[in-house]
């Protein structure tokens, strides 16, 4: 990547320099400017949050020495790096090495050294920028030295970086450019997204943070006003080509073909090579059935290797996958898949007959790929082999999805009694996965739990972060996932290193899992999301498992994770309030607004709204509901209204207060209480139904239904529970029932929910 800064653009090269470059001045400028605006590359961010002291030290380091942040990354003993740098760095490298102990950690090579054998063993060669925060005169001197430093026949790359004082999401930000190109010792070139991933795997942001105090310099910062009250952010902007989700699997299959990609906790595993090949076969079969880019394909399978292969096979056609809860009533699954007009479905045979009966007569029946069962990938393989024997499907190429192509549709509870489809694009998903990668630095040796079902948005982190880093995804069945006595030994036996689930599961694990009996020392990261984690249980969990880092992740399905907070190493005994949901992730922006949509000052309660790359396109076939869910600002940006009331605090970020509407979180699922009521009204004996949510220390939330019956004909509790099992997903079924002759009303003749709460 060639990029000239202002100093270069404003000063023509001398005749000797132009001669040396081999092109005339105007051509040089035109070419470099064209490269700078090259349309296929987009700026992404690796974010590491620094406190005031750390950020000021980093700035002092840059201003005082010309040393840049990436040098510190070379201190990682697990990754030997050679910096193939521009001549400007070479010109000052000697001075830097004399002043700071970098000579044994960073090796400088001229650009043309790539033509020769490089001494020693190495993993990567990285071409990085020069960081110099100097005035114009100093920059000109450096540029002159740059030209002088180049040997005849060498290449010239002129790059510079600047300290900027910009407002970003209400905070001061420091931008340090890292334009990364890399080549392996075998001469293979890699994309910039590869280098971004490798940096994250090397723990780059953590290394930078831990290295701040190593290279002390005189304390001064040009034009920068540090303040203790400001939250300072180091943002390393990395140029990276867009990479759709389906490419993650093929990339990792090339790097680690024999490594286990997915394991089923109760059975076998599949390698990256075999998973990629199985997904390719499904891609070919779906294409043969008429599936094309932009279509939707249903997945009606229990969690399994077969389901993971189906996800990637569908994505490889350019279509979006629509996962359905296999434990919910078939009528719900049929509604969901007919609502989004699927072209085909990968389904277990046990559902097929009732599914066809529930399918709307006016809708076109989709094509089916039917599996006898699920497990190990063998049932999908068998179904594809049988179909291939009957009617061969030609091999087709994997479709390269565009950023705004739909990747998947997740259906969530709807206030009308019908679920609504949240449309998520490849940009939505990859921006989130890239943020996770940069922030938490997973690696290829990590073993990720897959606790959440695939129709639940928590599964996005599990699946794609594991596959992106060529780690291993360990699938946990629904039965095991609800049994804490089985979960604890599974975490130990499978050596899970990255865990992600709702707090309620972790609370059960604390209370009933007997964690103290098992060796869970491989566990290094625990994510939780979906509901409030009672501090009592979180403290107990940290006491039982003190070694991992704990992160509270927050965000509705419409944004996936949009804020995050790391739990302190020690939770004070006197603390009894839940921890914050934290600060916004770097791929989105958050703010707090009042009922009129005006931003409120910190400390004042309001609704959290979110904009950025992680925010959904909208709801499937619900334009009015989509419009109602967004707030548009004067710049035309759409802000998703989460419906959550929060307060922003300077130190801890956003503090969750409550919901604005009648939506609650139960077992991590967003549940519209109105949808439960709509389901209860279907019972022939029910005249009135009202549902409220009750806080429960052990379970988070319990749902209680108040019912009045027609002609006094009260159904039995067993009958009601059976009816709910047939008409509602298990997580939406009421936990408690109460019968009244008539439900209390307000003065406007509406059900008095406040009165019902006093009757519990």
The distance between the two most distant Cα atoms of the chain, rounded to a whole number of Å, is: 101
pLDDT number for residue 15:
43
Contact 9, 29 (CB under 8 A): yes
* Strand order through the sheet with 233-241: 41-49, 233-241, 171-177, 166-168
Residue 311: burial class (beta carbons within 10 Å; 0-12, 13-18, 19+) = buried
445-480 tens-digit pLDDT? 999 999 999 999 999 999 999 999 999 999 999 889
**What CA–CA distance (Å, rounded) separates 582 from 567?**
10
Residue with tokens 């300072």: 232
pLDDT given at position 663: 76
The β-bridge relationship of strands 181-183 and 296-300 is: unpaired
pLDDT at 558: 97
Write the CA distances from 195 to 188, 189, 198, 387, 437, integer angstroms.
13, 10, 5, 40, 12
- Return the residue matching tokens 């090949």: 277
All domains in the chain, ordered by first residue: 6-240 (no CATH), 663-757 (3.30.300.30)
pLDDT, residue 751, reads: 77
Residue whose tokens read 């890399």: 182
Q: Tally DSSP H helices, then E strands, for the chain.
A: 25, 35
Contact between 58 and 163 (Cβ < 8 Å): no
Global pTM exceeds 0.85: no
Torsion of CA 635, 640, 646, 647, to 10 degrees: -10
**pLDDT averages per 10-residue partition of the chain, 760 residues:** 29 38 32 27 33 45 40 39 38 40 37 33 31 39 40 32 27 29 38 41 39 26 22 27 86 93 90 98 98 98 98 98 95 96 98 96 95 96 98 94 96 82 96 90 94 95 96 95 92 97 89 93 95 87 96 96 95 89 92 93 94 96 96 91 92 85 78 83 87 79 90 89 91 93 69 83
Which structure tokens are listed for 677? 């009521």
CA distance 569 to 700: 23
Tens-place pLDDT, residues 638-669: 999 999 989 999 888 999 987 777 778 787 78
Closest by CA to 360, choosing from 328, 337, 343, is 337
Q: Please answer whether residues 54 and 212 qualify as being in contact, where contact means their C-beta atoms are separated by less than 8 angstroms.
A: yes
């Amino acid at each position: 990547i060639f990029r000239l800064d202002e100093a270069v653009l404003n000063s023509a090269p001398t005749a000797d320099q132009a001669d040396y470059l081999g092109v005339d001045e105007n051509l040089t400028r035109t070419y470099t400017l064209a490269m700078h605006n090259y349309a296929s590359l987009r700026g992404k961010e690796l974010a590491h949050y620094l406190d005031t002291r750390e950020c000021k030290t980093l700035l002092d380091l840059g201003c005082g020495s010309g040393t840049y942040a990436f040098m510190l990354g070379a201190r990682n003993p697990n990754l030997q790096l050679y910096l193939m740098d521009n001549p400007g760095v070479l010109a000052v490298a000697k001075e830097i090495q004399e002043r700071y102990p970098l000579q044994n950690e960073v090796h400088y090579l001229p650009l043309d050294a790539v033509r020769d054998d490089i001494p020693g063993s190495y993993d990567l060669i990285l071409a990085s920028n020069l960081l110099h925060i100097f005035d114009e005169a100093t920059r000109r001197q450096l540029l002159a030295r740059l030209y002088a430093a180049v040997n005849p026949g060498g290449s010239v790359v002129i790059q510079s970086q600047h300290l900027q004082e910009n407002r970003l999401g209400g905070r001061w930000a420091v931008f340090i450019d890292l334009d990364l190109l890399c080549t392996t010792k075998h001469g293979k070139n890699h994309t910039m997204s590869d280098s971004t991933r490798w940096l994250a795997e090397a723990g780059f942001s953590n290394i930078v943070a831990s290295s701040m105090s190593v290279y002390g310099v005189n304390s001064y910062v040009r034009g920068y006003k540090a303040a203790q009250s400001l939250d300072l952010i180091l943002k390393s902007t990395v140029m990276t080509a867009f990479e759709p989700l389906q490419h993650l699997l093929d990339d990792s299959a090339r790097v680690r073909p024999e490594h286990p990609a997915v394991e089923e906790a109760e059975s076998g595993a599949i390698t990256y090579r075999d998973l990629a090949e199985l997904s390719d076969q499904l891609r070919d079969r779906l294409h043969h059935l008429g599936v094309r880019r932009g279509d939707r394909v249903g997945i009606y399978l229990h969690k399994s290797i077969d389901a993971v292969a189906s996800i990637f096979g569908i994505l490889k056609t350019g279509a979006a996958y629509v996962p359905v809860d296999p434990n919910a009533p078939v009528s719900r699954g049929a509604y969901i898949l007919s609502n989004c007009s699927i072209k085909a479905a990968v389904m277990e045979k046990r559902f097929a007959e009732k599914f066809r009966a529930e399918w709307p007569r006016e809708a076109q029946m989709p094509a089916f790929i039917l599996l006898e069962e699920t497990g190990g990938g063998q049932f999908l393989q068998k179904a594809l082999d049988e179909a291939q024997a009957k009617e061969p499907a030609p091999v087709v190429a994997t479709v390269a999805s565009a950023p705004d192509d739909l990747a998947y549709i997740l259906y969530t509870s709807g206030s009308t009694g019908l679920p609504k489809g949240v449309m998520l694009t490849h940009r939505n998903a990859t921006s989130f996965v890239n943020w996770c990668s940069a922030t938490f630095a997973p690696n290829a040796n990590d073993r990720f739990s897959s606790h959440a079902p695939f129709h639940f948005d928590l599964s996005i982190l599990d699946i794609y972060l594991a596959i992106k880093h060529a780690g291993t995804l360990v699938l946990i069945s629904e039965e095991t996932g609800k049994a804490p006595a089985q979960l604890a030994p599974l975490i130990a036996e499978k050596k899970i290193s990255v865990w992600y689930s709702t707090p309620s599961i972790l609370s059960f694990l604390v209370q009933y899992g007997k964690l103290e009996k098992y060796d869970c020392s491989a566990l290094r990261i625990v994510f939780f999301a979906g509901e409030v984690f009672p501090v009592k249980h979180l403290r107990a969990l940290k006491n039982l498992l003190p070694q991992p880092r704990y992160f509270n992740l927050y965000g509705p399905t419409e944004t996936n994770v949009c804020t995050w907070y790391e739990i302190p190493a020690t939770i004070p005994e006197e603390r009894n309030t839940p921890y914050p949901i934290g600060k916004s992730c770097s791929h989105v922006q958050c703010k707090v607004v009042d009922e009129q949509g005006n931003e409120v000052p910190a400390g004042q309660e309001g609704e959290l709204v979110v904009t950025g790359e992680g925010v959904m396109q909208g709801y499937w076939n619900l334009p009015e509901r989509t419009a109602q869910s967004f707030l548009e600002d004067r710049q035309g940006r759409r802000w998703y209204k989460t419906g959550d009331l929060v307060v922003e605090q300077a130190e801890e970020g956003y503090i969750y207060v409550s919901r604005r509407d009648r939506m609650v979180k139960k077992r991590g699922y967003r549940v519209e209480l109105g949808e439960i009521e709509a389901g209860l009204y279907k019972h022939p004996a029910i005249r009135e139904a009202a549902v409220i949510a009750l806080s429960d220390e052990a379970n988070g939330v319990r749902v209680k239904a108040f019912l009045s019956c027609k002609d006094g004909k009260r159904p039995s509790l067993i009958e009601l529970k059976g009816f709910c099992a047939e008409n509602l997903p298990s997580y939406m079924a009421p936990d408690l029932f109460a019968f009244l002759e008539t439900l209390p009303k307000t003065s406007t003749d509406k059900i008095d929910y406040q009165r019902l709460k006093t009757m519990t």
